Amino acid sequence: MSAPSAARLGPAGMCVLALGFAFIYAPILLIVVYSFNASKLVTVWGGFSLRWYPALLENRQLLDSAFMSLKVALASGALATLLGGLAGLALARRGSRGRSALAALVYAPLVMPEAMIGLALLLLFVALGVERGFLTIVIAHATLGMCFVALVVAARMKTFDASLREAAMDLGAGPFTAFRTITLPLIAPALVAGFLLAFTISLDDVVLATFASGPGATTLPMRIYSQMRLGVTPEINAVSTLILCSAAALAGAALILARILRHGAR
């Protein structure tokens, strides 16, 4: 806890850090490097080239599925933030009725295998005669996403002083005014973080989407997955690199936004 413990990291510790992070990042880096490979054989270096990137823009199917993924992620992220935000508030309020049932239901999807959640949802959609497509993927992703949002919001609520809200109510603010002026600004960073988490989970998911989708709706991960099953191609490397870049940009934006919101809340 004090100064002596800080200086403990010897050369062995530095080696472990370097090796550990190399293990984590080398595979990701290899994808990026080999996306600039001129050779059609991914694993044989044939010189530097950008040729695989323009080819992506002509791939109509890929662009369509990327657009579909974005729409699904935005819709399900928004829905997950709304439902998960409410759930997080309810979880943080001690003694309200139905709280323990809600807690159990919020934790359960987090530990269930996606294949099981997906299969169960699909069976429900079939039993109800719902046509599968965009909407059913959004429902599936929102259901998983809201559980993550609820955890993030509930954790944020724990650090916040309930007397602030009560003071506002004592001063004559109605419950909705108190919520808008006190609670909402305080949980805003958690809502943003939760939305980004739900958005990312949706963009990344292939298992739930495959179970929940119909013939008309193919998301980007579904498209990439079916190509990966056939083997490695330079196009997959190029798409992957673009996805990694947008994920990095999104994470950077999230960090900046979180910092702004945190300063704003003070």
Partner 1 sequence: MSARDALARRLARRLAHRLAIGAPLAWLALFFVAPALVLLKISFSVSVLGQPPYEPRFDLSAGFAAFLESLRGLSLDSYALILQDDLYLHALLGSLRVAGLSTALALLIAYPLALAMAHAPRSWRPALILLAVAPFWTSFLIRVYAWIMILKDEGLLNRALAASGLLDAPLRLFATEGAVVIGVAYAYLPFAILPIYNALDRQDRTLVEAARDLGASRLRAFWSVAFPLSLPGVFAGALLVFIPACGEVVIPDLLGGPETWMLGRAIWNDFFANRDWPAASAAAALLLLAILAPLIAFERAQMREEESA
Cα(258)–Cα(252) distance, integer angstroms? 10
Nearer CB in complex with partner 1: 54/98? 98
Q: Which of 115, 162, 184, 249 binds partner 1 (CB under 8 A)?
A: 115
| Residues between 70 and 109 with contacts to partner 1, criterion CB under 8 A | 83-84, 86-87, 89-90, 93, 96-99, 101-102, 105-106, 108-109
CB of 24 to partner 1, least distance (A): 6
Q: For residues 179 and 201, give the distance between their C-alpha atoms in angstroms, rounded to a whole number.
A: 28
Q: Which is nearer to partner 1, 53 or 225 (CB)?
A: 225
Per CB under 8 A, 221 contacts partner 1: yes
Question: What is the footprint of partner 1 within residues 241-260 (CB under 8 A)?
Answer: 243-244, 247-248, 250-251
Find the part of the chain contacting partner 1 (CB under 8 A) among 46-54, 160-168, 185-193, 230-238.
230-238
> Cα angle at 27 between 21 and 33, to 5 degrees?
115
Pattern 148-187, partner 1, x by CB under 8 A: --x---------------------x-xxx--x--------
Structure tokens at 65: 């599925």
Taken in order 163, 164, 167, 173, is the CA torsion positive or negative? negative
31, 68, 137, 193: which one binds partner 1 (CB under 8 A): 31
Pick the binder of partner 1 from 75, 207, 209, 238 (CB under 8 A). Answer: 207
How far apart are alpha carbons 23 and 34 in whole angstroms?
17
What CA–CA distance (Å, rounded) separates 95 from 7?
A: 47
CB of 93 to partner 1, least distance (A): 7
Distance (Å, rounded) from C-alpha 126 to C-alpha 114? 18
Bridge partners, 37 (sequence order): 48
For the chain, give me the number of helices (H) and strands (E)? 13, 0
Q: Is 233 helix (H, G, I), strand (E, B) or coil?
A: coil
**Residue closer to partner 1, measured from CB, 6 or 57:** 6
> Which span sits near partner 1 by CB under 8 A: 55-63, 123-131, 160-168, 257-265?
123-131
Question: CA torsion, points 16, 19, 25, 29, in degrees to nearest 10?
Answer: 160
Site for partner 1 in 126-145 (CB under 8 A): 126-127, 139-140, 142-143
